[in-house]
C-alpha cells in the first residue's frame, strides 16, 4: 500500500513538473517565434532594413539568456535556503505575469522607442524566471525519484521544453489560420502571449498541493535550528568555491544542446520564411518544427531510461557525435525547399538533441550535494544556455549572410566537439546517492 501511494505521489509530482515546465517554456518560446516573425515589424522602425530589424529582434531574444544565469543565482540561493517548492512557485508567477504583459504591450507605432525598451525589460524578466524555474522543477522530480529511475523521472522536467515548443507553434499556427495576415500582424500575435495567464493558476496549484522534496526536508531535519540562520555563506558562493569544475563542465556539456536546439527551432523558421532565405511559408516552417518536437518527446524518455541502466555519459556523448555529423546534412535537406526533407532534417537534429537533453536533469543533479544542488545545477545549466543558446540565432544569421549556411553547420559542429570533451571530463553519476 505504501509503495502504491508512493508511486501515485511520484506520478503526481512528475506530471505537475511536466505541466509547469511546458507552460513556462511555452512562454519563453513564443517570444522566439515572435522575434523571428513579428517583432522586427512591430517593435522597430518601419524604415529599418529588414535584416537589421531581424538582428535587433534576435538581440532582444538573447537578453533572456543573459538573464538566465542571474535568475539561476537568485532563485538558486533561495531554493537551497527556503525550499524547492516555494522558489518554483515564485518563478512560475514571474513568468506568467511578464509574458501576459508582453501580450498587452503597445507597438513602436504607438509608443516609439519606449516599445522595444519595455519589450527588452520584459524579456529580461522572462529570462530571470526561466533561470529559476528549471532548477526547481528538475529537483522536484529528481530528488523525489528512486535512484534507479532518476533519469526517467527527470525527463518529465526536460520534456517541458519540446511540449512548450509544440504549444507555442500550435498557438501561432491556429491564430494565423484563424485571422487574416493583416489581423495577425496587428493583434492576432498577442493571443498566444495572453494565454500564459494559465501559468499563474498552475503556480497556485503547486503551492497548495505539492510537498517539498524528500532530500531537502531531510537536509532541514539534520540542520540544528541555529545552523540554518548562521550558515557560513550563500549557497551560490559555496558551490562556486566547492564545485567550480562541475559547474564549468556542466555548462560545456550543455553547449551543443543549446546551439543546435535554437538553430533548429528558432533560426530555421526565420531562414526558411525570409525572402532573403528560402522564401517559404511561415506555416510550413512552423509545422516542420512542430513535427520534430513531437518526435523528440519519446526520445527524451528512452534516452533517460537507458541512462538509468547503462550510465549517463555514453548516451550523452553519442548524441553529441551524431548531432555534430548531422549538422552538415541539415541544410542541404532544408535547402531543397521540400516539406518532407525539411521535416527529416529538423527531426533528426531534434532526436540527437534529445539523446543529450533527456538524461541531463539527472546528470546535473547528481553532480552536486543537496545543500547546494539548486544553485550548482542551475548555474551549470544557465551558463551553458547563455554561452550556447543566447546568441545562436544571431551568430547563425551573421554566418549565413557572410559565408553561407555551411558555416552554420561548422558552428554547430564545434559546439558538439566542446560538449564531447566536457562530458568525457565529468565522472559517471548514474545511481549516485543524493547526499
Q: How far apart are CA 407 and CA 303, in angstroms?
A: 29
- Which three three-digit cell numbers place residue 350? 531534434
pLDDT digits (tens, 9 = 90+) for 186-227: 888 899 889 888 777 776 776 656 665 666 666 666 665 454
Look at residues 56, 241, 242, 266 and name the one whose alpha carbon lies nearest to residue 165.
266
- Which three three-digit cell numbers place residue 106? 503597445
**Mapping DSSP to helix (H, G, I), strand (E, B) and coil, where does residue 246 land?**
helix
The reported pLDDT for the residue numbered 359 is 93
* Residues contacting 154, CB < 8 A, separation 6+: 138, 141, 142, 145, 304, 359, 360, 361, 362, 365
* Placement of cell 523521472 in the chain: 153
The reported pLDDT for the residue numbered 87 is 80
Whether the CB-CB separation of 349 and 36 falls below 8 Å is answered with no
Average pLDDT of the segment spanning 421-435: 87
* Residues contacting 70, CB < 8 A, separation 6+: 127, 128, 131
Report whether pLDDT(421) > 80: yes
Q: How far apart are CA 232 and CA 243, in angstroms?
A: 16
| Domains of the chain listed by start with CATH number | 2-425 (1.20.1250.20)
pLDDT digits (tens, 9 = 90+) for 37-73: 788 888 888 878 777 887 788 788 778 878 888 888 8
Q: How far apart are CA 263 and CA 285, in angstroms?
A: 13
Q: How far apart are CA 139 and CA 273, in angstroms?
A: 38
pLDDT digits (tens, 9 = 90+) for 343-389: 999 999 999 999 999 999 899 889 888 788 888 888 888 888 888 87
Look at residues 193, 173, 288 and name the one whose alpha carbon lies nearest to residue 280.
288
- Which three three-digit cell numbers place residue 224? 540544528
The sign of the dihedral angle between the CA atoms of 269, 271, 276, 278 is negative
Q: How far apart are CA 18 and CA 374, in angstroms?
A: 18
Tell me the pTM. Answer: 0.82
Q: How far apart are CA 217 and CA 325, in angstroms?
A: 45
Amino acid at each position: 500500500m505504501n509503495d502504491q501511494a508512493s508511486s501515485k505521489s511520484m506520478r503526481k509530482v512528475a506530471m505537475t513538473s511536466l505541466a509547469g515546465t511546458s507552460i513556462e517554456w511555452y512562454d519563453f518560446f513564443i517570444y522566439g517565434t515572435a522575434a523571428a516573425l513579428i517583432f522586427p515589424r512591430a517593435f522597430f522602425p518601419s524604415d529599418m532594413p529588414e535584416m537589421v530589424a531581424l538582428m535587433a529582434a534576435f538581440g532582444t531574444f538573447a537578453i533572456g539568456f543573459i538573464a538566465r544565469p542571474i535568475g539561476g543565482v537568485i532563485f538558486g540561493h533561495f531554493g537551497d535556503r527556503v525550499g524547492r517548492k516555494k522558489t518554483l512557485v515564485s518563478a512560475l508567477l514571474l513568468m506568467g505575469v511578464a509574458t501576459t504583459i508582453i501580450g498587452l504591450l503597445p507597438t513602436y507605432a504607438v509608443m516609439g522607442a519606449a516599445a522595444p525598451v519595455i519589450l527588452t525589460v520584459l524579456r529580461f524578466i522572462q529570462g530571470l524566471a526561466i533561470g529559476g524555474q528549471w532548477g526547481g522543477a528538475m529537483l522536484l522530480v529528481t530528488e523525489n525519484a528512486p535512484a534507479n529511475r532518476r533519469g526517467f523521472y527527470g525527463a518529465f522536467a526536460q520534456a517541458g521544453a519540446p511540449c512548450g515548443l509544440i504549444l507555442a507553434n500550435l498557438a501561432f499556427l491556429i491564430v494565423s489560420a484563424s485571422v487574416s495576415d493583416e489581423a495577425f500582424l496587428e493583434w492576432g500575435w498577442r493571443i498566444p502571449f495572453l494565454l500564459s495567464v494559465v501559468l499563474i493558476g498552475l503556480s497556485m496549484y503547486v503551492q497548495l498541493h505539492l510537498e517539498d522534496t524528500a532530500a531537502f526536508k531531510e537536509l532541514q531535519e539534520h540542520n540544528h535550528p541555529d545552523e540554518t540562520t548562521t550558515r557560513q555563506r550563500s549557497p551560490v558562493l559555496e558551490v562556486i568555491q566547492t564545485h567550480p569544475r562541475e559547474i564549468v563542465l556542466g555548462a560545456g556539456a550543455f553547449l551543443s544542446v543549446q546551439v543546435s536546439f535554437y538553430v533548429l527551432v528558432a533560426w530555421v523558421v526565420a531562414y526558411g520564411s525570409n525572402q532573403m532565405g528560402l522564401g517559404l511559408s511561415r506555416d510550413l516552417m512552423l509545422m516542420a518544427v512542430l513535427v520534430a518536437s513531437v518526435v523528440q518527446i519519446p526520445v527524451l524518455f528512452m534516452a533517460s531510461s537507458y541512462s538509468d541502466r547503462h550510465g549517463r555519459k555514453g548516451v550523452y556523448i553519442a548524441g553529441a557525435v551524431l548531432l555534430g555529423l548531422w549538422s552538415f546534412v541539415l541544410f542541404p535537406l532544408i535547402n531543397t525547399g521540400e516539406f518532407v526533407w525539411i521535416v527529416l532534417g529538423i527531426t533528426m537534429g531534434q532526436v540527437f538533441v534529445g539523446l543529450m537533453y533527456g538524461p541531463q536533469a539527472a546528470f546535473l543533479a547528481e553532480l552536486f550535494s543537496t545543500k547546494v544542488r539548486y544553485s550548482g545545477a542551475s548555474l551549470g545549466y544557465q551558463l551553458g544556455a547563455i554561452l550556447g543558446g543566447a546568441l545562436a540565432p544571431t551568430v547563425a544569421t551573421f554566418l549565413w549572410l557572410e559565408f553561407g549556411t555551411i558555416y552554420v553547420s561548422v558552428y554547430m559542429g564545434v559546439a558538439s566537439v566542446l560538449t564531447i570533451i566536457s562530458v568525457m571530463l565529468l565522472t559517471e553519476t548514474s545511481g549516485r546517492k543524493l547526499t
